[in-house]
Structure 1
Amino acid sequence: MRERILSVDIFRGATILLMVLVNTPGTWSNVYAPFLHADWHGYTPTDLVFPFFLFIVGTSIVFSYQNREVGYDTYKKIIIRTLKLIGLGLFLGAFLIRFPFIKDWESIRFPGVLQRIGVVFFFASLLFINFKWKTLIGIAITLLILYWILMTLVPVDGVASTLERAPNNLANWLDVKVFGSHNYKPDYDPEGLLSTVPSIVSSLLGIFTGLILTSKQEKKATILMGIGGSFLIIGHVWDLVFPINKALWTSSFVLVTAGWANLILALIYYLTDVRKMEFGSIFRYAGANAIVVYFLSSFIAKVMGQIKVGDTSLHGWLFQTIYVHDTISMELSSLLYGLTVVAFYGLLAFVLYKKKIFIKV
């Protein structure tokens, strides 16, 4: 059995806990800028979180399916896991705490984070087990260039396409046509249909990193840093004509986020797997049950937001009662609430890990 690469577990766990942090501030009205998404073009540290997770999904695919016989059972497991992820995502989008415990059909959001993870996992897994790495590189490049062409050259309803949030943005237009009222917003969805195509490449780039980590190459950290730096340069150059944009998951966004992922993972790999330094255990615990931590944090946050306490929710009441004080800013209060939530799920992950409870989704 291949020895586990600790840096991958730490990276996955840190990503999922950061995802919890940025998703559960005390109040969305007062959040430090780095913990918010970019308004449209550009990116913040928060915009790195989701692509980091898709990236490490790709890396984990290598560990799961490399050098294993591929047959009916393999495809069956891939399909079952995909359906579980999509099902959990749809459940989160539809759940209400009051009878009949489900939203009106017209207000249920179809796309979502878990749905995208499921779809990306499905296609990235199938591509990995059926094609060699050189072919995968060609597929990744083709998809990124094709998406660029589609988003910038294909007219929408006879009008020249735009990359702004507008009716003649191809990705936005397609989401409205396909999903209608089932989008995140009336005019677009950040986990929309067309933008899922380049998000698959985010996972493919993680696969290439996984292949390097499991290879007999020496100085793997140096190689990953070189790749990461190259992705950053190419992505920022591409940004000049195809802006970095998370909502549209532009090709430049794919490269820039994969660049940062490689650089950070390379550093963690060097410190933990090469130098054998002991740190980041809490992240490793969270990484062992990453989807469970994300799902529970999203589900419980949703429940707390629906339980009424006076003229606010249980979430709002806890925040106002415990964290809001005249002596500290609202932004700091909001951050402290989020850090408390992260600490709770970090502790939960620790207990699950120590009890050897690993819930596979």
Structure 2
Amino acid sequence: MDENEVRRVEEGLAAEPKPPPMNPSEDEKRGGDRVVDEGMKVEGSSKLEETVGGKPEEVLPPVKQRSKRVATLDAFRGLTIVLMILVDDAGEAYSRIDHSPWNGCTLADFVMPFFLFIVGVAIALAFKRIPKTNDAVKKIVLRTLKLLFWGIILQGGYSHAPDDLAYGVDMKKIRWCGILQRIALVYFVVAMIEALTAKRRPTAQDLGYISIFTGHHWQWIGGLIAFVIYMTTTFALYVPDWSFVAHNPDEPPKRYTVICGKRGHLGPACNAVGFVDRQVWGVNHLYSMPVWSRLKACTLSAPSSGPLRPDAPNWCRAPFEPEGLLSTISAILSGTIGIHYGHVLIHTKEHRERLKQWIAMGLGLLVIAIILHFTNAIPINKQLYSISYVCFTAGAAGIVFSAFYVVIDVWGFRTPFLFLEWIGMNAMLVFVMAAQGIFAAFVNGWYYEDPKNSLVNWIQKHVFVDVWHSQRLGTLLYVIFAEITFWGVISGILHKLGIYWKL
């Protein structure tokens, strides 16, 4: 296996490996090589041994088999990409699947924590063996920088895909935060802890319910530190009054003031999450179209987008960063829980024992989240990335991951999920081209007379909307067939050709 293929296996981006056939008679001649650790490696002797005739014969070097690939990892990653495309491009037509305007959890609110969960699982597998710590640290830093770079390019405001054919961003208003930036920071923290504590990690198999935690306690200490920082800042930080300038296309710029003077506030206007981002990044560098504008207090069209009410509070017009600094610190817990599932996968051989630990933790997290939410102690809130939101989405991720594992890896029903595996193997490509609209923007660049007369718009209107006589249903079907199915086929072709785009 060459170096690139090893790297793809480690990062969950290579095809399902097929172990080389082994002839039993040849196995005996090689000194009785034996397979250990469920096909992860083959041990044997490479020294000269005596044959029956007394002549020395050189035994061939041990044959190293490829890692037995967990197909659930790719399928779960592919599911997350599919959900992102669905809610991003069909959420405007079906607001019930779009992000919750504030408290609560919708289909769109599962995307980010599912990403971070699977990042954690992949880290555990990728850094299971670390020959050289310095090389691992360099790899982590380089990958983090790549993710940050692409995040700023795609979501910082430079790219106006897919509808606006212009490009470029005013550095005075560039958005520093985004999806890839959050993934980069969570990956950096969780992966660095995993790499730097490699020598202190247990190597035994079949760790129990408690020993799996104590054996990897440094990851949980990191998660605990993130929890303490988030909770202390959220409930102890004083949030003063603040102001911002709204830039509306049809109106001159106008300054608005939001009255606060509170601590521990979990509403849209005066929470510590927004205050930290305004202080660190500056109000001009935050996301300018927050989902809270769909609240009843802001628009009569709630929960859909619409014109603001005449009596809407000032904060309805304000920017807010959903992937900000303090909420990213809380998001580290999603990665920590994900890496715990990866540790269970590594240290537990039996399917039944893996599922027991996974499902027990998933159900426990769901119960904690429901109690916190319905007692109104800490509501489930994606914009704040509240602790109840961490528990609820991580618990759901654990249950879905366990279900995928049973169906795909235990029962072997892979065929219905192959398109998810293909997308998961080329997740970065599909994210950039489909979820961020880069491919659609390229196609839109070739139009006839008017930018609206492009192939993408023609297909959406004449093949889907006009045929079904419904803008909503036509939009949904366009997303399912012209985007998700299309990129599933493209990913399958690339997989057959052995082409993968990774960072």
Gaps of 5+ in 1: none
Match of 1:118?
Answer: 184
Match of 1:4?
Answer: 69
1:342 aligns with 2:484: yes
Pick from 319, 328, 331 the counterpart of residue 460 of structure 2: 319
1:39-62 CA-to-partner distances (Å, cap 9, x unmatched) read: 111101221111101100010001
Deviates more, 1:214-223 or 1:89-98: 89-98
Query: Do 1:176 and 1:187's aligned partners in 2 also have CA atoms closer than 8 Å?
Result: no
Q: Is the alpha carbon distance of 1:24 and 1:306 closer, same or farther for their aligned partners in structure 2, counting shifts above 3 Å?
A: farther
Letter in 1 for 2:182: R
Aligned-residue sequence identity (percent) comes to: 31
* TM-score of the pair, normalised by structure 1: 0.91
Aligned counterparts of 2:192 and 2:130: Cα–Cα separation in 1: 14
* TM-score of the pair, normalised by structure 2: 0.66
Q: SS in structure 1 opposite 2:326?
A: coil
1:284 aligns with 2:425: no
Aligned counterparts of 1:304 and 1:199: Cα–Cα separation in 2: 35
1:103-143 CA-to-partner distances (Å, cap 9, x unmatched) read: 22223221111111111111110112224512322332342
CA drift at 1:311: 7.5
Deviates more, 1:292-301 or 1:140-149: 140-149
Aligned counterparts of 2:275 and 2:442: Cα–Cα separation in 1: 32
CA drift at 1:152: 2.2
Letter in 1 for 2:491: A
Query: Do 1:58 and 1:203's aligned partners in 2 also have CA atoms closer than 8 Å?
Result: yes
Aligned counterparts of 1:9 and 1:354: Cα–Cα separation in 2: 15
Instruction: Output the aligned Cα RMSD.
Output: 2.4
Q: Is the alpha carbon distance of 1:335 and 1:206 closer, same or farther for their aligned partners in structure 2, counting shifts above 3 Å?
A: same
Aligned counterparts of 1:114 and 1:302: Cα–Cα separation in 2: 20
Aligned counterparts of 1:105 and 1:135: Cα–Cα separation in 2: 39
Letter in 1 for 2:339: I
Aligned counterparts of 2:279 and 2:287: Cα–Cα separation in 1: 14
Letter in 2 for 1:228: G
CA drift at 1:327: 4.5
Aligned counterparts of 1:346 and 1:329: Cα–Cα separation in 2: 25
Aligned counterparts of 1:118 and 1:50: Cα–Cα separation in 2: 12
Pick from 119, 141, 152 the counterpart of residue 235 of structure 2: 152
Aligned counterparts of 2:451 and 2:444: Cα–Cα separation in 1: 12
Aligned counterparts of 1:313 and 1:201: Cα–Cα separation in 2: 46
Larger gyration radius, structure 1 or structure 2: 2
Match of 1:267?
Answer: 403
Query: Do 2:465 and 2:474's aligned partners in 1 also have CA atoms closer than 8 Å?
Result: yes
CA drift at 1:222: 2.5
Q: SS in structure 2 opposite 1:24?
A: helix
Aligned counterparts of 1:155 and 1:101: Cα–Cα separation in 2: 39
Match of 2:358?
Answer: 224
Q: SS in structure 2 opposite 1:206?
A: helix
Match of 2:471?
Answer: 330
Query: Do 1:42 and 1:243's aligned partners in 2 also have CA atoms closer than 8 Å?
Result: yes
CA drift at 1:64: 0.6
Query: Do 1:40 and 1:245's aligned partners in 2 also have CA atoms closer than 8 Å?
Result: yes
Match of 2:389?
Answer: 253
Gaps of 5+ in 2: 1-39, 41-66, 202-215, 241-260, 289-317
Deviates more, 1:215-224 or 1:198-207: 215-224
Pick from 231, 242, 256 the counterpart of residue 378 of structure 2: 242
Q: Going by fraction, where is strand more abundant, 1 or 2? A: 2
Match of 1:211?
Answer: 343
CA drift at 1:312: 4.5
CA drift at 1:278: 2.6
Higher relative contact order (CA 8 A, sep 6+): 1
Pick from 135, 142, 147 the counterpart of residue 85 of structure 1: 147
1:103 aligns with 2:169: yes
Deviates more, 1:97-106 or 1:278-287: 97-106
Aligned counterparts of 2:363 and 2:165: Cα–Cα separation in 1: 52
State the number of aligned residues.
357
CA drift at 1:330: 2.5
Match of 2:248?
Answer: none
Query: Do 2:445 and 2:451's aligned partners in 1 also have CA atoms closer than 8 Å?
Result: no
Q: SS in structure 1 opposite 2:177?
A: coil
Q: Is the alpha carbon distance of 1:302 and 1:89 closer, same or farther for their aligned partners in structure 2, counting shifts above 3 Å?
A: farther
Match of 1:137?
Answer: 220
Q: Is the alpha carbon distance of 1:269 and 1:29 closer, same or farther for their aligned partners in structure 2, counting shifts above 3 Å?
A: closer
Query: Do 2:104 and 2:381's aligned partners in 1 also have CA atoms closer than 8 Å?
Result: yes
Aligned counterparts of 1:14 and 1:330: Cα–Cα separation in 2: 25
Aligned counterparts of 2:223 and 2:147: Cα–Cα separation in 1: 24
Q: SS in structure 2 opposite 1:254?
A: helix
Match of 1:14?
Answer: 79
1:161-192 CA-to-partner distances (Å, cap 9, x unmatched) read: 411111x2111112122222121124311111
